[in-house]
Structure 1
Amino acid sequence: MTKVAVVTGASQGIGAATVSAYRKLGYHVVANSRGITPSGDPGVLAVPGDIADPAVGARVVEAGLAEFGRIDTLVNNAGIFIAKPFADYTAEDFDQVTGINLRGFVAVTQAAVAAMLDQGGGHVVTVTTSLTDHANSSLPAALASLTKGGLNSATKALAIEYATRGIRFNAVSPGVIATPMHPAETHEFLAGLHPVGRLGAISDVTDAIVFLENAPFVTGEILHVDGGQSAGH
């Protein structure tokens, strides 16, 4: 029996690396993002679509079930980060951030949980942000804290709700990771936000996701991968 992982936001950065990490674990992978293109790997099913559309989450899971027959893990990696002073956020910003970070999470996770209940268990990992624990005056991003903080709380709530039914819920809470989202000229400033004095690597996050995958007694955990940010500065 080959296990199956669903990865959202899978076309670049942490998401693309997570697809590769699960393939190395021997999983089939259902990869979703707005512009994702078909893979030459028969073990990867690309399902394009904007996760902010609630119909897309259900479609991604249905496509995975149709192609591979089961869903064992969901990695909620899709997210959007808009940093600006709180009073400058627009209604469009709010809709965009909540659409992807919250509505997208709910729709795809509901569909995945239904599949996991049918087969007797599974695992959901959500990528959040250490800004929820460590606000920074030089990087105002209240909508990130509002949405990703909610996901951390929901992770704990869902871990307890499904604890006796074989579904684990965990989160990885990164600091600033060197991904295409961050232009090279910002790296020096961003590195200084971490007590260890460097940006995180994509592999730091994927290693944490794989750790949680292989830790059957761990559920409800918010695993900080943030160079010490959440501990202090």
Structure 2
Amino acid sequence: MQQQKVAIVTGASQGIGAGIVSAYRKNGFAVVATSRSIQSGADEGVLAVAGDIRERAVAERVVAAALKRFGRIDTLVNNAGIFIGKPFTEYTVDDLRNMTEVNLAGFFHITQLVLPHMLRQRSGHIVQITTTLVHQAIAGAPAGLALLTKGGLDAVTRGLAIEYAQTGVRVNSVAPGIIKTPMHPAETHAVLAGMHPMGRMGEVAEIADAILYLENAAFVTGETINVDGGQHAGRW
């Protein structure tokens, strides 16, 4: 019998992360879901592991729990991240530390720990959630530290894709525009919708759909899919 595939999703307790967990479950995967505040639910196919992904010990615990419970790791979705938009001169040292630790160190720890298991299997898929602003900045929406850190993930996606191209491990990313999640109050939606050429915000399901496309696209690696209502295409 074919063994059930297993995905690890970081930043999984709400918003995009919760939507990704749901999408993978609907596609038959077992999921290890991790975030600082996540709690166990009724679905036995979802293993919740609480902790701060910027800490290497948490990443080690997530990987160990996945292997103990399900015996394998097929996909890693690096969704955990912090986005702080403000003028560059107004960022604080705490902003720099927090965004670097979560966006970059969090990615580094869990990805480095997952890769050896994928390499032994000769198969695996790693996906980063970045931001479309990496490809097209928007006047009036300063986000220097977000670009610095998420831009690093965008670059390393291509680097790791080439490094592991002949091992069976693929590496891709999805770059969202502004997605309708609880972090955006309803009263901001009209303004945020206007920041996309298509005139609306994105939906969580649309990010999950892009990830699942990449999951099944066996000949695609090193790719970033912009799910942004056309933001990356240029000025409008």
- TM bucket, shorter chain: over 0.9
In the other structure, the counterpart of 1:130 is: 132
Once the two structures are superposed, what CA deviation does each residue of 1:92-114 show, in whole Å capped at 9, x if it has no partner?
Answer: 00011011100000000011111
1:220 aligns with 2:222: yes
Whichever residue aligns with residue 98 of structure 1, its letter is T
Structure-1 residue corresponding to 2:75:
73
User: Could you tell me which of 30, 33, 38 is aligned with 2:32?
Assistant: 30
Is it true that 1:16 corresponds to 2:26 in the alignment? no
- Match of 1:230, SS state, is helix
Q: What is the letter of the counterpart of residue 185 of structure 1?
A: E
Aligned to 1:177: 179
| Unaligned 5+ runs, structure 2 | none
Residue in 2 aligned with 1:86?
Answer: 88
Structure 1-normalised TM-score?
0.98
Q: What amino acid maps onto 1:148 in structure 2? A: K
Deviation at 1:137? 2.1
CA distance in 2, matches of 1:167, 1:62: 20
Return the alpha-carbon distance in structure 1 between the equivalents of residues 59 and 27 of structure 2. 24
Structure 1 runs, 4 residues or longer, greater than 6 Å off: none
The 1-side partners of 2:24 and 2:204 are apart by 14
Q: How does 1:32-181 map to 2 (within 5 A)?
A: 32-181=34-183
**% same residue:** 60
Letter in 2 for 1:57: A
Deviation at 1:189, TM superposition (A): 1.1
* Distance of 2:112 and 2:159 partners within structure 1: 14
Instruction: Give me the whole-angstrom Cα distance separating, in 2, the residues matched to 1:60 and 1:86.
Output: 34
SS state of the match for residue 200, structure 1? coil
C-alpha distance in structure 2 between counterparts of 1:98 and 1:188, whole Å: 31
Give the superposition deviation at 1:182.
Answer: 1.0
Report the AA paired with residue 195 of structure 1.
Answer: P
Q: Deviations over 1:69-112 (max 9, x none)?
A: 00000000101111111001011000110111000000000111
CA RMSD of aligned residues (A): 0.7
> Helix, strand or coil: the match of 1:107?
helix
Instruction: Report the TM-score when normalising by structure 2.
Output: 0.97
Distance 1:60 1:147 in 2: 23
Question: What secondary structure sits across from 1:163 in the alignment?
Answer: coil
Q: Which moved more, 1:177-186 or 1:153-162?
A: 177-186
Q: Distance in 2 between matches of 1:154 and 1:55?
A: 23
SS of equivalent to 2:166? helix
1:28 Cα offset (Å)? 0.4
Between the aligned partners of 1:115 and 1:22, the Cα distance in structure 2 is 20
Q: Quick one: distance in 1 between partners of 2:191 and 2:98?
A: 26
CA offset at residue 37 of structure 1?
A: 0.3
